Amino acid sequence: DQQVKQNSPSLSVQEGRISILNCDYTNSMFDYFLWYKKYPAEGPTFLISISSIKDKNEDGRFTVFLNKSAKHLSLHIVPSQPGDSAVYFCAASRFNFGNEKLTFGTGTRLTIIP
Amino acid sequence: ETGVTQTPRHLVMGMTNKKSLKCEQHLGHNAMYWYKQSAKKPLELMFVYSLEERVENNSVPSRFSPECPNSSHLFLHLHTLQPEDSALYLCASSQTMTHQETQYFGPGTRLLVL
């Protein structure tokens, strides 16, 4: 039973345009969400996060939107650059008295076309 | 050297072999994790150590045996593995295990069991 789902395995976007990566979750207890980015032969690196008390968090070209009623979050990258080509993982966690765990999605491979 | 390092980066082993994966973090963190990433599956948490004590064993078969001799080092001892254990094994660390703590990942060990 996958609690965090990324239904698009891949996405191609023209350089300079907006990339939108989507993530859905089923566990309503999740209250913290993260996006990680992974290049080949490297480990995932933290990109941006959002707490459930917010519906938007922005960091430079990256914005994460959270729709709690729909149990959906999205990552917007604008403008997209060739260096953004990577696999993006959505992850979620919930408060558990200091014993929190991250639950990951399967990832979306983003390719930016020059 | 900074961040989280893992050795070896690639490993091929037979089902009767015994090998160990090593992880070292140079971030002064107190929590360390082992994850498994199989093809087209989400990252799966295997083990969590906090202050050198195991706090989570996520129903992992006993052919995987973790060891955390100090807060900077984490090992995963492998013995009598099966071909389905072939995967990318990722180590991560975080300052603590508490909520909203960012995890920092190593580059992973790609394991092939023949």
Question: Do B13 and B38 touch, CB atoms closer than 8 A?
Answer: no
pLDDT in tens, B11-64: 999 888 899 999 999 999 999 999 999 988 899 999 999 887 887 777 899 999
Cβ neighbours, 10 Å, residue B59:
6
Work out the burial of residue A1: count CB atoms within 10 Å of its CB; fewer than 13 is exposed, 13-18 middle, 19 or more buried: exposed
pLDDT tens-place values along chain A, 114 residues long: 789 999 999 999 999 999 999 999 999 999 999 999 999 989 999 999 999 999 999 999 999 999 999 999 999 999 999 999 999 999 999 877 666 788 999 999 999 999
Mutation for B interface: A106, A108, A109, most B CBs within 10 A:
A106
Judged by a CB distance cut-off of 8 A, whether residue B90 touches chain A is yes
Q: How far is A95 from chain B (nearest CA, A)?
A: 6
A32 contacts: CB under 8 Å, gap ≥ 6: A49, A50, A51, A52, A92, A93, A94, A100, B99, B100
CA angle B19-A44-B4, nearest 5°?
55
Per the DSSP assignment, residues forming a β-bridge with A106 are: none
How far is C-alpha A68 from the geometric centre of its chain's CA atoms?
15
